[in-house]
Amino acid sequence: MHFKNLLLPVSLVSISVFADVEYKLTIEQPEHHLGNVSVLFPKSAQAHLDIKLPDWRTGRYEVLNLANGIRYFNATDHDGNTLKWQKIDKSTWRVHLDNPSQVQVSYQVYANQLAKRVRHIDDTHAFIDASGFFMFSDSFRQEPVKVALNVPMQWRSVSGMEFAANKHSFSAANYDVLVDSPIETGLNEHHKFSVDDRDYELVIWGEGNFDAKLMLDDLKKLVKTGSLIWHDFPYERFVFMVHATSGARGATEHLNSTIIQRHRDTFAKREDHLSFMSTAAHEFIHTWNVKNYRPAGLVPYDYVNPNYSDLLWLSEGSTSYLEDYLLLSAEIMQPDEFFKNLSNTIQRHLKKPGREVQSAAHTSFDKWINKGGDHGLNYSTNIYLEGALISMALDIDLLSNSDGKVSYRDVHNQLYRQFKLPKSFTSEDVKDILKQVSGKDYSQWWQQHVDSPLSLDFDALLSKVGLEFSLPDGAKPIADLSVIAESEGQLLRLKHVARDSTAWQAGLTSEDKIVAFNGHHVRGNLTDSLAYFDGGETVKVDFIRRDKLMSTQVKLEQGFDKEKRIVAVTLPNETQQRLFKAWTGVAHPNAK
């Protein structure tokens, strides 16, 4: 396996002779989400050993305070004598050594964070991301590791790591491999398949309306598509882990595996299956983009402190952009479904006033602190949306300037060739690659679209590949308030008021509860409540704020009952047809 790229700088390597760090997790009270961990560190001659639990996990750029689940910490030497210890910060335990010795620590973990995809134990399974379970020391971060699980006999354990002594034990080259190779153990459905001499596994925990055969058929198609972008594959074996559950959704990329969570009832419909496959494609792409090449600010992972980068839009947003390209090329997705997803991305972008405030570079750096909600929508954006649209704009620009010979995929292949870990890349490196593949200096383009808030002419951009962004036939004008509202009893509570909209200018704000328009009590939703008004009409809005009835006048905006969608132009010219094929890998829907 290609694990040698995960080495740390020499300064962090232990002065000790290489020896295994041994982890053991015992699960005896799964119904209470509890596990007991012991860790045996090799012999150390240091005066003290700092032992840490990560404060965040890879793939989620958010401080999670994982040490809050640790209790009953204890440390002993190789003779079993108790060692003195103290906590020196929220995630670090300092163990004092009077004499050179191995150090064994033990502690209890509370694992009930399924939705964060970091640690979860119940009576049917355990999902084990090492960042939530297994402590480490910088002194031994490069040592080989072994993991042994003491779990119910009927459970099955699966990981991207190699098996060790038995079916519930694993080995890895070092802690960085361990922390990027989660384990799913429990009562699960397990499938194996091979494609192009590489091995794959699909493990599903939970019950739901999924069709495992359909999953397998489309995953086999998906994993063939890596060669459409990159010159080789960085793994020999890859594991797809799926949680069919409730209250948890999302996915996380790992070194040679991924964990995908969906509600148990969101697999059967065509759109649900495509959503699952888009997620699988996203995480599959991450096997290259992030797990084998990533921005300088993320190399090496710190685990305890945030890693900052102004290129997370490329790590995440480019991945989001490329996922449907793979599905379309593999004929898992049809062009109209591809258009629908891209339309939704553009619409989500346009509905975020924060896109006018925060650039992709800025939102990348601030990913650790950016939040959603009303203020987030109005003054921030996100790495996925902006990154996907920047990627699309770059792709079409590269294609149109090269008559379809150069694409954004070439940029990513060069990043993989030139900056494979342990190397890393900067914004200047990406601009250099853009110039290498295209012969064009993208510095000004970068300043306009990456370092400044993104503003794209979607009509001009899409026209190059024979598409248009327009209202569907039969779209009717309606009154609009540029707010997001939800029913709360017999009121409409505002969750978001778009910055600088007429509602904003009239003084309405989030958490206001609308009672009536022009004296008529609101209906069950905002659309029905505005159905009797026209865009441009001024109405009196009665609302409750701080338990007090208030009123204001608002001029309603002009909207439509259907959103703009991407459609193929009826008579594409030869250039549009050629660029569309180079862009998507399939023929233009109206090609002749």
pLDDT digits (tens, 9 = 90+) for 514-525: 999 999 999 999
Nearest Cα to Cα of residue 394 among 440, 425, 428, 352: 440
Question: Is 443's pLDDT higher than 50?
Answer: yes
In one-letter notation, the amino acid at residue 231 is H
Question: Is 8's pLDDT higher than 50?
Answer: no
In 457-537, the DSSP E strands lie at 467-470, 477-480, 483-488, 491-497, 513-517, 520-521
Nearest Cα to Cα of residue 304 among 134, 90, 141: 90
pLDDT value of residue 14: 38
Torsion over CA: 456, 460, 462, 468 (sign): positive
In one-letter notation, the amino acid at residue 27 is I
Question: Is 4's pLDDT higher than 70?
Answer: no
Find the mean pLDDT for residues 307-322: 97
pLDDT value of residue 18: 57
In one-letter notation, the amino acid at residue 170 is F
Looking up tokens 């208030």, which residue turns up? 550
C-alpha span between 388 and 39 (Å, rounded): 42
Buried b (16+ CB within 10 A) or exposed e, 187-210: ebeeeeeeeeeeebbbbbbbebeb
C-alpha span between 100 and 592 (Å, rounded): 78
CB 251 within 8 Å of CB 259: yes
Nearest Cα to Cα of residue 147 among 126, 127, 137, 161: 161
pLDDT value of residue 94: 97
Nearest Cα to Cα of residue 53 among 23, 83, 10: 23
Nearest Cα to Cα of residue 383 among 396, 401, 373, 368: 368
Question: Is 287's pLDDT higher than 60?
Answer: yes
Nearest Cα to Cα of residue 567 among 587, 585, 590, 591: 590
Find the mean pLDDT for residues 120-143: 96
CB 478 within 8 Å of CB 560: yes
Please state the separation of Cα 388 from the chain's center in Å.
13
Three-state secondary structure of 377-403: HHHCCCHHHHHHHHHHHHHHHHHHHCC
pLDDT in tens, 320-376: 999 999 999 999 999 999 999 999 999 999 999 999 999 999 999 999 999 889 999
Find the mean pLDDT for residues 281-302: 97
In one-letter notation, the amino acid at residue 171 is S
Question: Is 1's pLDDT higher than 90?
Answer: no
pLDDT value of residue 511: 97
C-alpha span between 415 and 401 (Å, rounded): 21
What domains can be seen in the chain, in order of their start residue?
21-185 (2.60.40.3650), 188-287 (1.10.390.10), 311-466 (1.10.390.10), 477-560 (2.30.42.10)
pLDDT tier for residue 19 given thresholds of 50, 70 and 90: confident
Query: Using alpha carbons only, how large is the chain's radius of gyration in Å?
Result: 27
Question: Pairing relation of β-strands 237-245 and 198-205?
Answer: parallel
Count the alpha carbons within 13 Å of 115 in the hemisphere toward its beta carbon: 5
Question: Is 16's pLDDT higher than 50?
Answer: no
Buried b (16+ CB within 10 A) or exposed e, 461-476: bbbbbbbebeeeeeee
- Read off the tokens for 167: 């079916």
Our CA angle for 497, 499, 502, nearest 5°, is 75
C-alpha span between 396 and 408 (Å, rounded): 8
pLDDT value of residue 185: 98
C-alpha span between 490 and 566 (Å, rounded): 37
Looking up tokens 């194996």, which residue turns up? 192
Torsion over CA: 329, 333, 337, 340 (sign): negative
pLDDT value of residue 248: 87
pLDDT value of residue 592: 84
Please state, in angstroms and as integers, the Cα–Cα distance from residue 296 to each residue in 299, 309, 310, following that order: 5, 7, 10
Question: Is 428's pLDDT higher than 90?
Answer: yes
Question: Is 307's pLDDT higher than 90?
Answer: yes
CB 128 within 8 Å of CB 150: no
- Read off the tokens for 560: 């439509």
Question: Is 9's pLDDT higher than 70?
Answer: no
Beta-ladder partners of 146: 22, 171
* Phi-psi domain of 14 (left: phi exceeds 0; alpha: psi -120 through 50; beta: other): beta
CB 273 within 8 Å of CB 216: no
Residue 540: CB atoms within 10 A of its CB come to: 13
